[in-house]
């Protein structure tokens, strides 16, 4: 089953509660929450107070993507705020195995993200320990970027790695996905699709979700 996880980074922040309720109404599977600290990535988004504020608005899975330096310092706070899946970057954590175990000890699912220039091979010893691998198909930090074509090869590599380890994981892809390329992303092996601009563009959430799902 292919899951859709709209990124609320592209939502209308003045109507965030309404937009999240609209996502649930129109059949998405997760809410993708991009947390940025202005250090690991060149932008600042939202954090723990916002997640707490919106948690009681929906029963959708909160897919929290931490684009922050040394995220292990804050994962308990995000868990307590209502995150269901906590994804940390391979590039952001020195003791990644320890951080993965810590997230799992909090009763949360754990994901590891890799930036476009990071090789899939770094995941060899981690794929058996996580619930999700997130392949960044743009350089993280901003919404509305174009899909990086070689990401398709990386998605396929992650799929092959999961088969090698006999591990049924979520393979999530984030960045530049829209109706023109979503089918290719899924065919490469992705089963969780993050889309921001493609979902929230022009305020036509229902129509945009339908267009994306035509490629599922």
Two tokens at 94?
Answer: 């020195």
pLDDT for the residue 105: 98
3-state helix, strand, coil in the chain (%, to 5): 40, 20, 35
Give the pLDDT band (50/70/90) at residue 104: very high
Two tokens at 6?
Answer: 């709209």
pLDDT for the residue 141: 84
**Predicted structure pTM score:** 0.96
Contacts of 187 (CB under 8 A, 6+ apart): none
Has 22 been labeled as part of a binding site? no
Has 45 been labeled as part of a binding site? no
One DSSP character per residue, 136-190 reads: ESS-TT-SSPPPPTTHHHHHHHHHHHHHHTT---EEEEESS--TTTHHHHHHHT-
pLDDT for the residue 193: 98
Using DSSP, state whether 76 is helix, strand or coil. helix
Has 196 been labeled as part of a binding site? yes
Residue 143 has pLDDT above 90, yes or no: no
Residue 118 has pLDDT above 90, yes or no: yes
Whether 97 is catalytic is: no
The distance between the two most distant Cα atoms of the chain, rounded to a whole number of Å, is 46
Two tokens at 183?
Answer: 């089918």
Closest CA to 54 of 26, 16, 28: 16
Which is the catalytic residue, given 153, 174, 178, 202? 174
Which is the catalytic residue, given 34, 63, 131, 178? 34
Residue 136 has pLDDT above 90, yes or no: yes
Has 26 been labeled as part of a binding site? no
Cβ pair 34, 7 in contact under 8 A: yes
Has 174 been labeled as part of a binding site? yes
Domains belonging to the chain, first-starting first, are: 3-213 (3.20.20.70)
At 168-193, the pLDDT tens digits run 999 999 999 999 999 999 999 999 99
Closest CA to 11 of 68, 79, 58, 78: 58
Residue 196 has pLDDT above 80, yes or no: yes
At 23-65, the pLDDT tens digits run 999 999 999 999 999 999 999 999 999 999 999 999 999 999 9
Give the pLDDT band (50/70/90) at residue 160: very high
Has 38 been labeled as part of a binding site? no
Has 32 been labeled as part of a binding site? yes
Cβ pair 135, 172 in contact under 8 A: yes
Distance, CA of 3 to CA of 60 (rounded, Å):
12
Cβ pair 86, 79 in contact under 8 A: yes
Whether 29 is catalytic is: no
pLDDT for the residue 83: 98
| Cα distances (Å, whole numbers) of residue 23 to 42, 105, 172 | 28, 30, 18
4 beta partners: 193
Closest CA to 57 of 24, 9, 26, 8: 24
Averaged pLDDT for residues 76-105: 98
């Amino acid at each position: 089953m292919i899951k859709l996880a709209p990124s609320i980074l592209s939502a209308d922040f003045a109507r965030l509660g309404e937009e999240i309720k609209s996502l649930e109404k129109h059949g998405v599977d997760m809410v993708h929450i991009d947390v940025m600290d202005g250090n690991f990535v060149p932008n600042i988004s939202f954090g723990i107070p916002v997640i707490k504020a919106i948690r009681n608005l929906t029963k959708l899975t909160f897919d929290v993507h931490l684009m922050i330096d040394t995220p292990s310092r804050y994962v308990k706070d995000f868990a307590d705020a209502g995150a269901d899946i906590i994804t940390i970057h391979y590039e952001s954590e020195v003791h990644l195995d320890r951080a993965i175990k810590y997230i799992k000890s909090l009763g949360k699912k754990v994901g590891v993200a890799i930036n476009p220039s990071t090789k899939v091979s770094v995941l060899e010893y981690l794929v058996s320990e996580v619930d999700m691998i997130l392949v960044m198909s743009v350089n993280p930090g901003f919404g509305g970027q174009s899909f990086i074509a070689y990401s398709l090869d990386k998605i396929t590599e992650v799929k092959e790695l999961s088969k090698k380890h006999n591990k049924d994981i979520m393979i999530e892809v984030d960045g530049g996905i829209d109706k023109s390329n979503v089918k290719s992303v899924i065919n490469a092996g992705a089963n969780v699709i993050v889309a921001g601009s493609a979902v929230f563009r022009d305020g036509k959430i229902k129509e945009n979700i339908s267009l994306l799902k035509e490629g599922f």
